Structure 1
């Protein structure tokens, strides 16, 4: 049995080195895309949380987890979002990516 190592790349998502499990990676990426889309659709709430948190990035992540019910990876993705991700065009791109991920997951899950 080989050891699998997870590596997080905020630009392209979760990648499991040596895992070769496209379905698992797709599901994990979908969770992150859904969280960033939700944050983009609730930008005012995200900004209010950022303004209210008195602390470091960890405190901000914890506040986002509490407000949106996200896990640590999802909250980390939201904290790392760039302002340009809140534009209508970027939000539409996230919606399209989410739809693509749903289609891929459905296809991969059906092939098992």
Structure 2
């Protein structure tokens, strides 16, 4: 197994908070200004900055300042490490079932 456990731990810790998970869901649709994000959650700007700091430290989001506006974006591929880790946790039975599903789908297509 590749040694990326620390990265997985950091990303999972950053997503442990429901507000941060909701921020990630919003940012998956596109970048947003920090003030806009704070308004969506009815929390103070300093509280939102704290949440975003945790996400940025984990490498989940990036931000840039243009004038007085700080815009936050989901970092492309930021959650890939979780996808890889989850894939490794699948049981052999799940992997066999997936292969069976592919085989049956091919067989169904060939017979039509």
> How does the TM-score come out when normalised to structure 1?
0.32
Compare the two structures and name the one with the higher helix fraction: 1
> How does the TM-score come out when normalised to structure 2?
0.32
Q: Which has the larger radius of gyration?
A: 2
